[in-house]
């Protein structure tokens, strides 16, 4: 049957209040403050629209199902109470009456493990649990970088230019099975954060970064050939992979190989709470520059109303193609240089360019920033050896490179090299102040992996990993919302 929620959220509140009075008559003193905070959050959280969003995922016939709103609420509560196993949580619902009451269930009538997995299947818009086929040849392992802390070089034989051209014509479809999960997340959580002013969707500053997600100790695969019986151990024949969307990648933070996903997250960098906006799970071997393009063009499909004004990315994304794309779409890029992209050896015939895009004069002195002419698309730098004599600027360099009293000035034009010459100029206070917000990606990833124990899910399918990931993102937004000053639940209780 179709899920029918008579009464909506007020009916849920009535059930909670009635059962709390019955099973916890002294709840005000027996329940700790941290649990009361969670109770207040879910007392105010209206999840009844989920029943309508999930309407088409249920049959017209058969027994009455559990309400999708109650199932989702229960799953979110398991994350709040740090229960990482669905089997364990199903057992806890039977033993702990408070968990069942807050979920919206009647004490003694709680769902089993199979019901939770059936609900996750309805959240997933695909008949397959993964996004790729389980039978494919062995994938190439990334090469270990030469220095500690460096990213491993890309494994995929495709450039950023090629991916940009391809995705502008035909966006990637990796995220399509998780469409309904994002619909629930956006309509009930992201949009509410936008209404509260926590996320500015009309002038969005996005910070992007990839982080490893460990899903197992090693690759689990089965041979489809008899090469091993012939003594051939490293054949390139197809294998059956039990986690086909995962592979082996390089963890630059821990300086070791790992098996799992590369989670690329786009975060609202101008949000005080480091709120997540859009995620994508890719193979562990995927480079961040490519992971960004997969995530970016997926977001443009499912969140087209967002107007992005700034992109804050680390040096792994330093590519001329990125700057040209941003210039074409009216986006200000704040991307750190990686030192491998090169720079013109000589500029204006007699000046060199430093690592941060600042001109260096003949005597080897870094020139001083003297403002940006945005209408002309250029930045002015002045002589670094200027001293004020009798109130006038005078160049005090022995080997003067200009006849002017105030020394040589250089205008660098942004269109000459948008990677080195950007607006605001790299190295300026404005640029540094904006780029400092890029660490919101690390803080967002920390919340997901440490506070909400993302990697403790121990799932085997991309379907379950996406369900867990989006539930954690919902909790992150829920934590950022301001609760009423007075406790409504306590007052009624």
Tell whether the model's pLDDT for residue 391 goes beyond 60.
no
Report all structural domains of the chain as residue ranges with CATH numbers, in order of start.
8-123 (no CATH), 135-337+437-480 (3.30.420.10), 352-424 (no CATH)
Tell whether the model's pLDDT for residue 434 goes beyond 60.
yes
Structure tokens at 56: 């088409």
User: DSSP class of residue 449?
Assistant: I
CA 39 to chain centre: 28
Tell whether the model's pLDDT for residue 345 goes beyond 80.
no
Which pLDDT score, from 0 to 100, does residue 349 have?
63
Buried b (16+ CB within 10 A) or exposed e, 147-166: eeeebbebbeeeebeebbee
- Burial (0-12, 13-18, 19+ Cβ within 10 Å), 369: middle
Tokens 């499909």 correspond to 301
Q: Cβ distance 156 to 294 under 8 Å?
A: no
CA 74 to chain centre: 24
Long-range pairs of 228-234 with CB within 8 A, sequence gap ≥ 24: none
Q: Where are the alpha helices (DSSP H) in 96-148?
A: 97-103, 113-123
Counts for the chain of helices (H) and strands (E), in that order: 17, 16
pTM (global) more than 0.85 = yes
The dihedral formed by the CA atoms of 175, 443, 480 and 51, expressed in degrees to the nearest 10: 20
* Angle (nearest 5°) at CA 121 between 120 and 126: 130
The tens digit of pLDDT for each residue in 239-296 reads 999 999 999 999 988 999 999 999 999 999 989 899 999 999 999 999 999 999 999 9
Q: Cβ distance 231 to 175 under 8 Å?
A: no
- Name the average pLDDT for the chain: 88
Tokens 């916890």 correspond to 24
Tell whether the model's pLDDT for residue 376 goes beyond 70.
no
For residues 430 and 295, which has the higher predicted lDDT (pLDDT)?
295
Which pLDDT score, from 0 to 100, does residue 114 have?
96
Element (H, E) at 191: helix 191-195
Which pLDDT score, from 0 to 100, does residue 341 have?
56
Q: Cβ distance 381 to 366 under 8 Å?
A: no
The tens digit of pLDDT for each residue in 56-89 reads 999 999 888 999 999 999 999 999 999 999 999 9
Say whether the peptide bond before residue 128 is cis (omega within 30 degrees of 0).
Answer: no
Looking at the DSSP assignment, which residues form a beta bridge with residue 241?
Answer: 221
């Amino acid at each position: 049957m179709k899920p029918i929620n008579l009464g909506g959220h007020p009916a849920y509140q009535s059930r909670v209040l009635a059962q709390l009075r019955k099973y916890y008559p002294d709840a005000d003193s027996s329940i700790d403050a941290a649990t009361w905070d969670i109770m207040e959050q879910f007392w105010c959280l209206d999840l009844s629209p989920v029943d309508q969003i999930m309407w088409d995922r249920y049959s017209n016939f058969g027994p009455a199902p559990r309400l999708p709103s109650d199932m989702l609420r229960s799953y979110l509560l398991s994350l709040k109470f740090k229960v990482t196993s669905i089997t364990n949580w199903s057992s806890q619902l039977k033993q702990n009456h408070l968990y069942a009451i807050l979920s919206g269930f009647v004490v003694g009538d709680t769902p089993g493990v199979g019901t939770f997995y059936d609900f996750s299947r309805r959240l997933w818009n695909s008949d397959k649990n993964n996004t790729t086929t389980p039978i494919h040849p062995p994938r190439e392992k990334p090469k270990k970088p030469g220095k500690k802390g460096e990213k491993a070089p890309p494994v995929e034989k495709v450039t950023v230019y090629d991916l940009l051209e391809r995705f502008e014509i035909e966006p990637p479809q990796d995220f399509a099975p998780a469409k309904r999960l994002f619909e629930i997340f956006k309509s009930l959580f992201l949009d509410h954060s936008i209404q509260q002013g926590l996320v500015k969707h009309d002038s969005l500053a996005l910070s992007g970064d990839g982080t490893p997600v460990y899903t197992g100790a090693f690759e689990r695969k089965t041979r489809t050939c008899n090469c091993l019986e012939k003594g051939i151990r490293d054949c390139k024949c197809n294998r059956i992979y039990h986690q086909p969307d995962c592979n082996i990648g390089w963890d630059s933070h821990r300086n070791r190989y790992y098996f799992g996903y590369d989670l690329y997250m786009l975060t609202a960098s101008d949000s005080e709470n480091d709120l997540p906006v859009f995620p994508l799970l890719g193979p562990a071997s995927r480079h961040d520059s490519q992971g960004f393009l997969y995530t970016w063009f997926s977001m443009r499909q499912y969140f087209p109303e967002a107007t992005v004004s700034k992109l804050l990315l680390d040096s792994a994304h330093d590519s001329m193609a990125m700057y040209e794309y941003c210039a074409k779409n009216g986006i200000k890029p704040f991307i750190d240089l990686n030192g491998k992209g090169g720079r013109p050896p000589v500029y204006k015939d007699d000046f060199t360019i430093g690592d941060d895009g600042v001109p260096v004069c003949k005597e080897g002195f870094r020139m001083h920033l003297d403002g940006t002419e945005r209408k002309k698309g250029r930045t002015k730098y002045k002589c670094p050896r200027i001293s004020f004599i009798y109130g006038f600027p005078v160049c005090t360099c022995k080997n003067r490179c200009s006849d002017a009293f105030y020394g040589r000035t250089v205008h660098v034009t942004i269109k000459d090299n948008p990677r080195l010459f950007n607006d605001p100029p790299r190295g300026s206070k404005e640029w540094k102040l904006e780029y400092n917000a890029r660490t919101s990606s690390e803080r967002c990833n920390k919340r997901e992996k440490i506070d909400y124990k993302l990697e403790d899910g121990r799932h085997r399918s991309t379907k379950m990993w996406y369900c867990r990931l989006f539930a954690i993102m919902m909790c992150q937004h829920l934590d950022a919302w301001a609760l009423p000053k007075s406790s409504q639940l306590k007052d009624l209780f």
